[in-house]
């Protein structure tokens, strides 16, 4: 009964006291960026996701937070645009396909090139090692090492292993993002 009351209270509060957070999602193509936005906005995961051209802008309300989400394309020709969408946001989410180990070095290079941009100074970073439903995926410890996350200074950095397909760890990811709301 207490649980029911507190859920009702949270729902009522969310109607009156909503926060907002602007998030930019980047990462190499096919890492699962659009799948992430789809799963958190309508719960739908699909094997056939149309490759993103340029960017998509989505608004998603989760609990008491309204997220404005930039889902930016990851093909090489679009990577130079990442910094423009990431400037001034409340968090950058960098998605990697943790099962595709051959691409992790390129991901490391692109992540650090992005973070060097002065317009991103201090912006919190969340790294998602996606596709952990697939055997042989890189663990969080491996991602920290290969992506050189321990060398990143002057911003909060978190890294989670997750799966858009099985939704593993998405609650904790959404909790982290909700804390960026203001
Ligand atoms: N096995 C598995 N496949 C995934 C997962 N997330 C995304 N995919 C697949 O990876 C492919 C690329 O996903 P997409 O969201 O378009 O990647 P994007 O280019 O980064 O936006 C699609 O075929 C998805 O179904 C996951 O958690 N597990
Ligand atoms: Mg996409």
Q: Is the CB of 30 under 6 A from ligand 1?
A: yes
pLDDT 10s digits, 89-135: 999 999 999 999 999 999 999 999 999 999 999 999 999 999 999 99
| Residue 152, Cβ density class (10 Å: 0-12 exposed, 13-18 middle, ≥19 buried) | middle
Angle among Cα 133, 26, 44 to the nearest 5 degrees reads 45
Name the residue with tokens 């760890």. 169
Q: Which of 2-6, 8-12, 19-23, 45-49 has the highest mean pLDDT?
A: 19-23
Domain boundaries, the chain: 20-178
- Could you say which ligand is closest to the alpha carbon of residue 134? 1
How many whole angstroms separate alpha carbon 27 and alpha carbon 110? Answer: 8
Binding-site sequence positions for Mg(2+)? 34, 52
> What was the pLDDT predicted at 127?
98
Name the residue with tokens 């990431």. 86
Binding-site sequence positions? 27-34, 52, 74, 130-133
How many whole angstroms separate alpha carbon 16 and alpha carbon 75? Answer: 40
CA of 164 to the centre of ligand 2 (A): 13
For the entire predicted model, the pTM comes to 0.92
Angle 33-42/170-178 helices, nearest 10 degrees?
Answer: 80
Our mutation pick for probing the ligand 1 site, out of 28, 31, 32, 70, counting the most ligand atoms within 8 A of Cβ, is 32
Confidence of residue 87 (pLDDT cuts 50, 70, 90): very high
Q: Which fold has domain 20-178?
A: Rossmann fold (3.40.50)
pLDDT 10s digits, 120-179: 999 999 999 999 999 999 999 999 999 999 999 999 999 999 999 999 999 999 999 999
């Amino acid at each position: 009964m207490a649980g029911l009351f507190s859920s009702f209270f949270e729902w009522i509060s969310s109607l009156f006291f909503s926060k907002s957070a602007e998030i930019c999602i980047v990462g190499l193509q096919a890492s699962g960026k659009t799948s992430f936005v789809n799963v958190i906005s309508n719960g739908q995961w699909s094997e056939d996701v149309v490759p993103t051209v340029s960017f998509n802008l989505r608004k998603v309300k989760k609990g008491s937070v309204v997220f404005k989400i930039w889902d930016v394309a990851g093909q090489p020709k679009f990577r130079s645009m990442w910094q423009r969408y990431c400037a001034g946001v409340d968090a950058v989410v960098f998605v990697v396909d943790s099962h595709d180990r051959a691409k992790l070095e390129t991901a490391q290079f692109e992540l650090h090139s992005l973070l060097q941009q002065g317009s991103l100074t201090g912006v919190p970073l969340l790294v998602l090692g996606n596709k952990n439903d697939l055997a042989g995926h890189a663990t969080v410890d491996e991602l920290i090492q290969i992506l050189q996350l321990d060398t990143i200074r002057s911003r909060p950095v978190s890294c989670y292993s997750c799966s858009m397909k099985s939704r593993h760890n998405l609650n904790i990811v959404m909790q982290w993002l909700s804390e960026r709301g203001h």
